[in-house]
Structure formats: C-alpha cells, structure tokens
Amino acid sequence: MIDVLYFAWLRERIGLPKERVQTSAATVADLVEELKAREERYAVAFADLAAVRVALDQELAEFDAPLAGVREVAFFPPMTGG
C-alpha cells in the first residue's frame, strides 16, 4: 500500500486530497498509467504530464523513478510560491 497525495488543480480534478492505493507499479510512470486506467477523472488530471510534478517521500523526483520502498507519492502542478 502506498499513500498518494494530490495538490492544487490535480486535487480538484481527481476530487480528493489523499488516498491509499494498492499497487505493484514499478515506477511513478507505471502508477500514473494504473490511475489513468481507473476512471475518467484520473485520465483528465494526468492528461498532460508536462504540467505535473511528482515527489516521493517528500523529495522531488522524476516519472521514471522506482517506487520500491516508497511510502508517499505526491502529484502536483509546478510550484508557485514566493
């Protein structure tokens, strides 16, 4: 089981901030494909991955990063702090 978090417009499009996901995905990209296949709202949210960033256990990562040992995956748009 892995905790998956969504922020900003990803949270709004998917309709929840956090869920526990049972997955055997090897990489972030595999997890995204699993989620997209689930329901239309995920497919919409992840339609343009160039607009999505990912963090693994609160560290920025790439979509080809492995999920082995990861407890928390977060998806969000490019950051706009400051």
By CB under 8 A, name the binding residues for other proteins.
Answer: 5, 7-9, 11, 55, 58-60, 74, 76-82
Nearer to other proteins, 26 or 60 (CB): 60
The two tokens of residue 80 are: 């706009």
d(CA 50, CA 68): 24
Q: Smallest distance from the beta carbon of 67 to other proteins, in angstroms?
A: 17
CB of 59 to other proteins, least distance (A): 8
Instruction: Check: CB of residue 13 under 8 Å from CB of residue 33.
Output: no
Q: Where are the alpha helices (DSSP H) in 1-82?
A: 8-14, 28-38, 40-45
Residue matched to tokens 């494909």: 33
Q: Which is nearer to other proteins, 11 or 41 (CB)?
A: 11
- Cβ 73 to other proteins, closest distance in Å? 12
Residue among 15 and 33 whose Cβ is closer to other proteins: 15
The Cα 62–Cα 44 span in angstroms is 20
